[in-house]
Amino acid sequence: MRKGNLITLTAAVCFTVSQVAVVQAADWLEFPIYPAADDQQAPDICGGVVVWQQFVDTDFDIYGADITDPLKPFVFIIRELADDEQAPSIYENTVVWQSYVETDWDIWAADISDQTDPQIFVVSDYADVNEEAPAIHGNIVLWRNDYFGDWDILGADITDLNSPAEFPVALYDFDQQAPAVYRNTVVWQDDYYGDRDLFAADIWQRNKPAESSVAVVEWDQQNPAVWGHIVVWQDNFFGDWDIYAADITDPHNPVEFPVCNNIFSQQNPDIDGGGPGNIVVWQDDRNGNWDIFGYNLTTRQEFQITDDPADQTDPAISGNVVVWQDDRSENSEIYAAVLNGPEVAQCESSIPGDVDGDCKVNFIDFTIMAGYWLECNLEPEEACWQ
């Protein structure tokens, strides 16, 4: 049986786009970032900057847009070559992506401190080895690598942009894929036991990652995202895709809980990468097409973000801004919504007596506390009632 409890979330790093007055979920400020005739895919966001891959002429390039002013996005090109650049990921002023050079995929990056003149550098470019699906947080970049014939997880410290320091994270039989990273915590999906499970590692000691399991149960757990001490993923334990999460404050005792497990399909989750870390978003087909939904981990409330009859997929979130791939035009475009109102309420400070971590003290807290009344875990036991 799957069960779990919610625990108070930690603060985050990236800044938040300026608030825009929005009354209800149906009235989110929703807008295309850069309307174009080219297909736009795979968005990511940190603070006020969105990145994506755009098909120009014959290949994909990496684009970015500063949407600090949502009504006047500043669009800029990060990387535009004759070969494909795909799967961008961003943290503050650093963007990473996979680039097809000659015969294989490599990991590249750009410093976009000056958005008009991105500084490009190589993270990892082994010959005849595919390096794909990069993720970044702080000065750590992760990706999957097929050097040994299956997929493994490698990383690099890019503190020195001109000399990235690579290190292994998960080099095992079968496939380790879809890495995600928050500070020193790396999570990934792993096929070691015959289906897809989720594992994590603390990489504080680069030469000795401290591994732990996040979700090792039947069927598939995949596409993880992590922020603070919360990991989210899509899970087909019950026969369709649902969104689950785990609090990994104690990495050896993850506290698992459902985010959305209705009878339809929920996929591609992301967790707030720029605010307090309490908003989860995903794509959901409960209305007969893909829409973007959200869930507030603090208030335990679910809400719908998009309702256009076309498909909205592959969401990413930072602070109060969600971006996604949208098919309402003749080609796919990147859209964004600035969220506001009670749906994205945050807990300004903890309250004594708030046992369940929902930023309210009510009868539920009293019930939980009463259930443990007169319990004591002191050792030795005779110290309890002195």
Cβ pair 60, 36 in contact under 8 A: no
**pLDDT of 354:** 67
**Weakest mean pLDDT among 146-160, 211-225, 340-354:** 340-354
Residue bearing the bigger pLDDT, 14 or 239: 239
Rg for the chain, CA atoms, rounded: 21
DSSP string, 42-92: EEEEETTEEEEEEEETTEEEEEEEE-SSTTS-EEEEEE--SS-EEEEEEET
Model pLDDT for residues 346-367, shown as the tens digit of each residue: 777 778 776 767 778 786 767 8
Pair 83, 100: CB distance under 8 Å? yes
Most confident of 93-97, 236-240, 356-360, 379-383: 93-97
Residue 29 in this model has a pLDDT that exceeds 90: no
Residue with tokens 């309702």: 307
**Cα 25 to chain centroid, rounded:** 22
* Cα 70 to Cα 113, 132, 173, distances in angstroms: 19, 31, 46
CA 177 → CA 151, 241, 245, distances in Å? 6, 18, 18
pLDDT tens digits along 170-180: 999 999 999 99
Which of 198, 193, 231 has the alpha carbon at shortest distance from 215?
A: 198
Q: Looking at the predicted structure, is the pLDDT value of residue 248 above 60?
A: yes
pLDDT in tens, 56-95: 999 999 999 999 998 899 999 999 988 899 999 999 999 9
Where residue 5 falls among pLDDT bands split at 50, 70, 90? Answer: very low
Interval 204-214 mean pLDDT: 93
Phi first, then psi: what are they for 83, rounded to 5°? -95, 170
Q: Is residue 293's pLDDT more than 50?
A: yes
Which structure tokens are listed for 249? 């404050």
Whether the predicted pLDDT of 373 surpasses 60: yes
Q: Quick: pLDDT tens for 304-324.
A: 999 999 999 999 999 999 999
Regarding predicted confidence, which is higher, 376 or 223? 223
Contact 87, 316 (CB under 8 A): no
Q: Where residue 158 falls among pLDDT bands split at 50, 70, 90?
A: very high
The whole-number pLDDT of residue 356 equals 67
Task: State the alpha helices, DSSP H only, in the chain.
Answer: 363-371
CA 1 – CA 148 distance, rounded (Å): 37
- Phi and psi at 376, nearest 5°, equal -150, 135
Cβ atoms of 213 and 254 within 8 Å: the answer is: yes
**Residue 25 pLDDT greater than 80, yes or no:** no
Distances, alpha carbon 278 to alpha carbons 23, 199, 301, in Å: 20, 22, 11
Q: How high is the pLDDT of residue 23? A: 34
Tokens at 287, concatenated: 């209305």
- Residues 154 and 131: their CA atoms lie apart, in Å, by 9
Cα 305 from Cα 13, distance rounded (Å) = 24
Average model confidence (pLDDT) across the chain: 89
Helix (H, G, I), strand (E, B) or coil at 363: helix
Residue-wise pLDDT tens digits, 144-153: 999 999 999 9
User: How far apart are the C-alpha atoms of 374 and 385, rounded to whole Å?
Assistant: 10
Architecture field, domain 25-348 = 6 Propeller (2.120)
Q: Average pLDDT, stretch 320-337?
A: 96
Q: Which pLDDT band holds residue 1 (cuts at 50, 70, 90)?
A: very low
Q: What ranges do the domains of the chain cover?
A: 25-348, 356-386
Bridge partner residues of 284 (DSSP): 266, 291
Residue 138 has pLDDT above 60, yes or no: yes
Averaged over 231-252, what is the pLDDT? Answer: 96
- Determine whether 122 is exposed, middle or buried from the number of CB atoms within 10 Å of its CB (0-12, 13-18, 19+): middle
Cβ(117)–Cβ(77) below 8 Å? no
Sheet holding 94-101: strands in order across? 85-91, 94-101, 104-111, 119-124
- CA-wise closest residue to 284 among 257, 308, 264, 261: 264
- Whether 106 shows a pLDDT value over 70: the answer reads yes
* Length of the chain (residues): 386
Residue with the two structure tokens 């850069």:
34
Pick the range with the lowest mean pLDDT from 33-37, 261-265, 292-296, 363-367: 363-367
Residues 6+ positions from 66 with CB-CB distance below 8 Å: 48, 49, 73, 74, 76, 115
> 167, 274, 185: which is closest to 224 by C-alpha?
185
